[in-house]
Each structure stands twice: as C-alpha cells, then as structure tokens.
C-alpha cells in the first residue's frame, strides 16, 4: 500500500508540473516533461493526450482547467469554409497547440497536422473533444456550457465534417493513414476500428448534448440516421471469432449481387488462418482492425476494441469475448506493461511495404506492436463496465512495478513489453495521467458513467 501511495504522489507532482497557462489561467498539459531530450512538439498540449488528465482534474473537482481547455480549443476550430484545398477543413479541431509569448501578449498557436511528421490529419481530435465535453457536463452538471451558442455551433460543425456527403457507401468514416493515436504510416487507411469506435462515441455524445431546436434539426436527423447502420455494420462485419473465422475460411470470391455472403470480396488466401485458428480462444473474439474492398485487417487494435466496449458499440456478448481474449492471451496483449497498441506486429515484407520502412515502427516497437501505459485507463474502464474488475486490478499491479523505475516512459518495446522504448520520452504526461485515472476508476467506478454509454 505504501508503494502505491508513493507512486501516486510522484505521479501527481509530475502532472501538476506539466500544466500550462494562458494569461495565468490553466489551459492544458504539455505532452512530456522530459528535460533531457529535445522537445520537438512534446512541449505542446495534444487534444487526445489531455483527455485522461482532464478526466482526472474533473475527479479532483478542478473543472476550471477542463473548461478553459474546451472553450479555447473551440476558438481554434476552423469555422469558415476554406477555398485553398491545402487548408484544414471547416469543423476540424487541432491536433495540438502551444502558448506563444510576445512581450506582454500571448496567443495560442494551433497545429492541424501541418507541422507534424508526415503531415498527419488529426481526425480523432474533434471526436475526443466531444467525448471530453460530455464528460465535463456529466461531472459538473453544467449543461449550460454545452448549450451555449458557441458550443452548439462547434458540435454542429464537427458533425457536419463527419457526416458530410461523400463517395463512400459504408456507414463508417473513411480516413487517411495515421489519422488517430497511430499517427504514422501503419496501413490503417480506410476505415480503421479506432476511428469507428470514436466516431460512434462522438455521435452518441453529440446527440445527447445538442438541443432539440430548429437549428439542430438536420444534425439530429443525420446522427439518428447514421447510428443504427454504423452499429450493425461494425458488430457484424468487423467481428471475428472462431465461428466467424470458419465462415470466412469457406468464402467464395468474385461473387456478384446484393445478397452475396462475401460482400467485400475478401480473398480467403489473404487471411492468416493457421495463426488465427491457434491464437483465438474458444470463448474469445474481437473486432478486426479494418475492413474495405478485398481488405480484412485481422490485427487486434486495443483502442478500437476497448472504446467499443466503453461506448457499447460492441454488444455485451462481444465485449465479454474481447475481455476473454485479453485474459487468455495475457502475455501477448499485456505482457510486462499494459498494453499492446496492436497485435501482432508487422514484420519483414509487410513492415517494408505498409510502414515505408519506418525505423521507429520496426517490429514490436512504438505503434507497431509496442506497449503503451496510457491504454491502462481504457483497459480498466472496459473491464469495469463489463463487470470484470480482476482484469483491471491485475493490469494496474503490473504497471505499478515499473513506471517509477522507468521514469514514466512513453512506450515499451519488445514482444512482451519489457524494454523501455528506444525513442520513448520520459515523464510522459499521458503515461502519468493514464495510471492515475486507472487507479481512480478502480477506487470508485462511479466515474465510469462520465465516459461510458449503455446499449441503445
């Protein structure tokens, strides 16, 4: 107990030290407080990184920093239609921002991916922003903030961006590679599960927060029209267990017509049956990483599966099977640091072709099968929501053994997550806040209602 207390105390000191201020008002936290490494963009506040820290501040009854973050990032949102196709689209939220000082004046400099490595479009920022706004309202009961004209317009613009007319015929959201937590080339372009889980969550949150008035009528109609098809599409087409694997194994390809079984023309030869039939537990299953024409990405992506449980995108039976898979394949998915961002890693020719020979994403490193402590809070939230607290408790104990010793590293390398990442930053804010939030959720599961949704 004393060891856990010491870890918690140190973690809070690091988190407090990471807070950034705008005109003396707390507005967010820097990505990392590692002073021994060049800052690059780690001295900025990232929208997705700040989410677990923001939830912690709400738990500690310090809502002002979250309110300041929400209102100021809203001001950075693109509000007008851009004529230049190189400019961010209307409704987009920045990936990150930093406070710039010019004499006595200050302003916020936003990055919409135009400064990022690979010029990655931050598709998930606006989805996490809505998620956090709803959590703020749940925690503070300050619905007036969400109902303000500025917030209502901000939500509408995000929904307009996500629900706009497109060439795509699926209910899922089509995005480029690297548009989410996995922000480097990893072959996830198309309809990656992480974005679909966040998209579904954002639709649920927006429907809850938008007023029922004439101004929002079209947005409500669009949301309600999208939710059921998205839910059905993901639960059926993305689901993989042994029964489903047997169906896919016997697929016929090049079929034509509306009622064919192999609707996406998946070639059975492209599926690693031998590995999957050995790896999948009898009572397990999970949502695959991606789906599209002749494409079924059978990798296990943690954020997408865990957020699917938290948001009830996955059915209760599917959620239980996902947690069974995590429990039965503990060494593969959890190892010595919870937990793998994806499994298995891309290797050999796949690594060459899909990552572009990215040295940071070599097999079992970074986003290519690396272990990320920040995922601890989502793992615990998912396990609590499905009444499996023993999974979260065991994962928290594993993390507590190493985080202080390893100076709150950003990520871990190796097939079992035993090596501190070769390029990992120390004193990484979302490693710190992810651990503290996981601990808070395990202590009092009432906070789960701020971030989860029940079945429709």
Structure confidence at residue 303 (pLDDT): 98
Contacts of 50 (CB under 8 A, 6+ apart): 28, 29, 69, 132, 429
Structure confidence at residue 90 (pLDDT): 86
Cα separation, 202 vs 197, whole angstroms = 9
Tokens 């397990």: give the residue: 284
The b/e string for 197-236 (b: 16+ C-beta within 10 A; e otherwise) is bbbbbbbbbbbebbeeeeebeebbebbeebbeebbebbbe
Structure confidence at residue 199 (pLDDT): 98
Output the six-digit token pair for 398.
């594993």
Structure confidence at residue 257 (pLDDT): 78
Structure confidence at residue 38 (pLDDT): 65
Positions of the chain with pLDDT lower than 70, given as ranges: 1-5, 36, 38-39, 82-87, 116-118
Structure confidence at residue 452 (pLDDT): 98
Structure confidence at residue 31 (pLDDT): 93
Which residues are 297's β-sheet partners? 290
Please name the helix (run of DSSP H) or strand (run of DSSP E) that holds residue 43, with its range, or none.
none
Cα separation, 197 vs 195, whole angstroms = 5
Structure confidence at residue 3 (pLDDT): 55
Cα separation, 13 vs 372, whole angstroms = 21
The predicted-structure confidence for 223-276, as pLDDT tens digits, reads as follows 999 999 999 999 999 999 999 999 999 888 887 877 888 888 888 889 999 899
Tokens 């497109």: give the residue: 166
Question: In 3D, which of 199, 203, 157, 156 has the Cα closest to residue 175?
Answer: 199
The b/e string for 347-371 (b: 16+ C-beta within 10 A; e otherwise) is eeeebeebbeebeebbbbbbbbbbb
DSSP 249-285: HT---S--STT-S-TT---GGGS-HHHHHHHS-TT--
Structure confidence at residue 99 (pLDDT): 95
Please name the helix (run of DSSP H) or strand (run of DSSP E) that holds residue 100, with its range, or none.
strand 96-102
- Taking all residues of the chain, what is their mean pLDDT, rounded to a whole number? 93
Output the six-digit token pair for 380.
């615990």
Structure confidence at residue 120 (pLDDT): 81
ω into 427 cis (within 30 of 0)? no
Contact (Cβ atoms closer than 8 angstroms) between residue 9 and residue 403: no
């Amino acid at each position: 107990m004393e060891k856990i207390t010491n870890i918690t105390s140190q973690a809070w000191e690091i988190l407090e030290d990471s807070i950034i201020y705008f005109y003396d008002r707390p507005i967010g936290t820097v990505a990392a407080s590692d002073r021994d490494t060049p800052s690059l963009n780690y001295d900025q506040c990232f929208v997705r990184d700040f989410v677990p820290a923001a939830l912690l501040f709400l738990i500690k009854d310090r809502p002002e920093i979250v309110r300041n973050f929400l209102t100021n990032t809203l001001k950075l949102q693109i509000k007008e239609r851009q004529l230049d196709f190189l400019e961010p689209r209307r409704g987009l939220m920045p990936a990150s921002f930093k406070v710039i000082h010019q004499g006595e004046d200050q302003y916020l400099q936003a990055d919409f991916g135009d400064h990022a490595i690979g010029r990655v479009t931050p598709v998930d920022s606006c989805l996490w922003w809505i998620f956090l706004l709803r959590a703020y309202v749940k925690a503070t009961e300050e619905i007036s903030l969400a109902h303000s004209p500025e917030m209502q317009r901000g939500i509408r613009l995000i929904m307009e961006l996500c629900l706009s007319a497109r060439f795509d015929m699926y209910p899922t959201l089509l995005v480029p590679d690297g548009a989410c937590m996995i922000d480097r080339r990893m072959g996830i372009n198309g309809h990656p599960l992480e974005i679909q889980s966040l998209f579904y969550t954002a639709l649920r949150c927006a429907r809850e927060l938008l007023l029922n008035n004439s101004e929002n009528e079209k947005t409500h109609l669009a949301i309600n029209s999208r939710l059921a098809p998205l839910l059905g599409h993901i639960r059926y087409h993305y689901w993989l267990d042994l029964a489903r694997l047997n169906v896919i194994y016997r697929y016929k390809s090049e079929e034509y017509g509306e009622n064919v079984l192999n609707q996406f023309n998946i070639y059975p030869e492209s599926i690693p049956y031998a590995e999957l039939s050995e790896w999948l537990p009898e009572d397990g299953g999970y949502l695959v990483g991606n789906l599209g024409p002749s494409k079924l990405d059978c990798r296990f992506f943690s954020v997408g599966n865990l957020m699917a449980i938290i948001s009830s995108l996955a059915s209760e039976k599917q959620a239980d099977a996902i947690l069974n898979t995590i429990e039965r394949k503990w060494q593969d998915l959890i190892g010595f640091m919870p937990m793998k961002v994806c499994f298995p890693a891309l290797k050999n020719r796949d690594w060459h072709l899909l990552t572009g020979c990215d040295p940071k994403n070599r097999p079992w490193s970074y986003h290519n099968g690396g272990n990320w402590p920040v995922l601890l809070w989502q793992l615990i939230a998912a396990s609590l929501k499905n009444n499996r607290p023993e999974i979260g408790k065991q994962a928290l104990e594993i993390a507590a053994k190493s985080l202080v010793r390893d100076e709150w590293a950003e990520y871990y390398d190796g097939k079992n997550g035993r090596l501190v990442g070769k390029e990992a930053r120390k004193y990484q804010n979302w490693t710190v806040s992810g651990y503290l939030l996981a601990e808070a959720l395990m202590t009092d599961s009432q906070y789960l209602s701020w971030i989860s949704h029940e079945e429709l």
